[in-house]
Amino acid sequence: MQKIRWFCRLLFAFLANARIFVSPNNPIYRGPLKGICFPGLNCYSCPLATTACPIGALQNFFANLRVNFQLARYQLGLYVIGVLTLFGAVGGRFVCGWICPFGLIQGLIYRIPCPFKRWGLPRISRIVPFLVLFFMVFLFPLLIVDSAGYGITWFCKYICPAGTLEAGIPLVSMEPALRMNISWLFYNKLIILFIVLIASWLISRPFCRLLCPLGAIYGAFNKVSLFELQFNKDICVKCGACANICPTGINFYEGIDDVNSVSCIRCLKCVSVCPVGAIKFSVTSDKKHILSNNCKIKNHEPA
Amino acid sequence: MKLFKKKWISIFLICFSIMLIIVGLYMGEWKAVWQKATTICLSCIGIG
């Protein structure tokens, strides 16, 4: 299953960045596909990007809300909210584990052997992406506006390391005009990117767990999504393999976390590693799972 | 019973999200997304 996941992540990373021929005269793709929201975090200003970033688009709607209303353009970002709700309602945070290109980058860095003991994160840190979402994506773009009524895309401007990596560095390298306008803001974002990349080597998925507003949105759907993780504690042998392999540090076998915790990225590593099949990813009211697990209990019982 | 309710909540959310997408497209939001995405975002780069 994990091989299929790697294939999916590479495929979606390619599809989101499938513009092969980049010309200096036309540094970013301007075709009709750019109106489609990609479900993962992938900067639309990347020279290779073929689709739009949902977080950037969402902030833009909030930042322009006042001016749009003054011009009688009642655009609330329903299209973007609908796309995010659709993916969230189907599989919760599965986009983070199976589709997101920035998640793939963090995963690749984490595979580099590390001579130090890898770090964990305290459970309290799980609230941080929700704060980033509320303040940087919703509140600040909506409330802090200039004299003309336009807000700014706070998360893109001050935090997003995906934007720096995928758009900032390539475009500044390609465009001399952009190079001349570099300010402290660009260096600030470079430092954030550097910290995130180094942290990805020491901590599993640090950006997803600490900063990503998109993950926070999808995570809110984890408990109500159509497909969800189901844990049969009656047949669990408490080996701890699921908690050891979990990239977001969830521990449900001891009852510390919920199996469908907001942090779960639905990578399904726990499903693959469980020796007795106590964890399944299926449609919410799938009764067959319990039946099949009962059969497995009988098979595992000592003679 | 709880599982049954959860399943219907998710089905409702899926239908609701499709409705949001349709209303958003009707309001011309696809074009707004396209316009933003086809302009080099100076904020994303860390310049603007």
- Quote the minimal CA–CA distance from A268 to chain B in Å: 20
User: What integer is the mean pLDDT of A228-237?
Assistant: 90
pLDDT in tens, A151-164: 999 999 999 999 99
pLDDT of residue A213: 96
A91 & A117 share domain: yes
pLDDT of residue B3: 57
- Quote the minimal CA–CA distance from A284 to chain B in Å: 6
A56 & A135 share domain: yes
Provide the domain count of chain A: 2
pLDDT of residue A285: 62
Confidence of residue A294 (pLDDT cuts 50, 70, 90): very low
Confidence of residue A293 (pLDDT cuts 50, 70, 90): very low
CB-CB: which of A27, A45, A188 is closest to B44? A45
Task: Show which residues on chain B lie within 8 Å of chain A, measured between beta carbons.
Answer: 3-4, 6-7, 9-11, 13-14, 16-25, 27-34, 36-38, 40-48
A189 Cβ under 8 Å from any chain B Cβ: yes
pLDDT of residue A291: 43
pLDDT of residue A191: 95
| CATH value at residue A257 | 3.30.70.20
pLDDT in tens, B1-48: 455 677 889 999 999 999 999 999 999 999 999 999 998 888 778 776
Report the percent of chain A where pLDDT is more than 90.
66
A282 & A187 share domain: no
Q: A-chain residues within 8 Å CB-CB of B48?
A: 157
CB-CB: which of B19, B33, B34 is closest to A80? B33
pLDDT in tens, A61-107: 999 999 988 888 888 899 999 999 999 999 999 999 999 999 999 99
- Quote the minimal CA–CA distance from B18 to chain A in Å: 6
A8 & A81 share domain: yes
A207 & A251 share domain: no
User: What integer is the mean pLDDT of A273-278?
Assistant: 92
**Residue-range definition of the domain harbouring residue A272:** 227-300
Query: Distance of CA A271 to CAs A14, A237, A241, Å?
Result: 26, 14, 10
A138 & A268 share domain: no
Q: A-chain residues within 8 Å CB-CB of B34?
A: 32, 34-35, 52
A142 & A235 share domain: no
A160 & A283 share domain: no
A174 & A265 share domain: no
Q: Which of A202, A219, A236 is the last residue of a domain?
A: A219
* Contact flag B34-A52 (C-beta cutoff 8 Å): yes
A252 & A141 share domain: no
User: What integer is the mean pLDDT of A176-204?
Assistant: 91
User: What integer is the mean pLDDT of A289-295?
Assistant: 44
* Contact flag A171-B18 (C-beta cutoff 8 Å): no
Confidence of residue A197 (pLDDT cuts 50, 70, 90): very high
Q: Tokens in use for B18?
A: 């499709």
Q: Which amino acid is at A274?
A: C
Q: Which residues 202-261 of A are in CB contact (within 8 Å) with B?
A: 221, 223-226, 228
pLDDT of residue A114: 86
CB-CB: which of B3, B27, B33 is closest to A57? B33
- Quote the minimal CA–CA distance from A168 to chain B in Å: 4
Confidence of residue A222 (pLDDT cuts 50, 70, 90): very high
Q: Which of A219, A253, A277 is the last residue of a domain?
A: A219
Report the percent of chain B where pLDDT is more than 70.
90
Q: pLDDT higher for A301 or A12?
A: A12
Q: Which residues 19-48 of A are in CB contact (within 8 Å) with B?
A: 27-30, 32, 34-35, 37, 43-45
Query: What average pLDDT is seen over chain A?
Result: 88
Residue of B nearest to A80 (CA): B21
A296 & A194 share domain: no
pLDDT of residue A287: 54
pLDDT in tens, A119-147: 888 889 999 999 999 999 999 999 999 88
pLDDT of residue A79: 95
A254 & A181 share domain: no
- Quote the minimal CA–CA distance from A142 to chain B in Å: 16
